[in-house]
Structures are given as structure tokens and as C-alpha cells.
Amino acid sequence: MSMEAMKQHGAFSWNELATPDVASAKSFYSSLLGWKFKDVDNSPMPYMIAETGDTEVAGIMETPKEAVGMPPMWGGYVTVDDVDERTKRAQELGASIYVEPRDIPKVGRFAVIADPQGAMLSMITYSK
């Protein structure tokens, strides 16, 4: 997916695994899919980028402390034009807000919601 397509409002743009065992996940996905991994040095927490060839395809991070006990899971991000406004609108439409909008340094701003049926979704507005 091109960078411009990733930044289009409404597009699924990123996938991320939260797991308590990053080393095992790296080993599994490297063996299964041939992914190579690199550390993200500017992240506020340990974060790995998975690559296929020269293309970044996903991220892997340790389960955040506020979500300890949650089973390991993949989550998808959808690009939105304004994460603060879309989070407010989601709540008006009956969504639960699990992570209020917050910044990811040098990446953008994100929030995590659950739709009225309980399906989790992360929304992101990328930095310019």
C-alpha cells in the first residue's frame, strides 16, 4: 500500500500486534511469513516494525501496562481526517472509548474505540 493510500480517510492503514511475548511473536512471524524486524528507536515503548522486502507491513509491541491481562491480539488502524472529532462522533453513535486521542511522536494521533457491538478499532490521523 502506498503512503498516500494509507493516509486516505477511511482506509485501513496499519496492523499491530500487542503481546506479552514479543520475542516469541517475532520468531513465529519470521518463520511463518519471512518478516524481518527493526527496532523503532524514537518510540516511548519498545516497538518493532515488521518488513516484507523494503515494505513496512506491521508493528509488534509488548502489551501496554493498562491492558495487561488482555490476550495477545492483532488490531487494525483506520485513517481518519481528525481523530479527535471522529472519536467524539463515535461516542455520539454509541461507541465506547478505550483510549482517548493521544499523540504518537513523529507518527500522528490515535484513539481506540469499540463500536456498539463491542468490536475494537484504532483510528489514526497521521502527521503531515
What confidence tens digit (pLDDT) does each residue in 69-99 have?
889 999 999 999 999 999 999 999 999 999 9
Residue with the bigger pLDDT between 106 and 114: it is 114
User: In the prediction, which pLDDT does 102 show?
Assistant: 95
Between residues 101 and 43, which one has the greater pLDDT?
Answer: 101
Enumerate domains of the chain plus CATH numbers.
3-126 (3.10.180.10)
pLDDT at 2: 60
Cβ atoms of 59 and 49 closer than 8 Å: yes
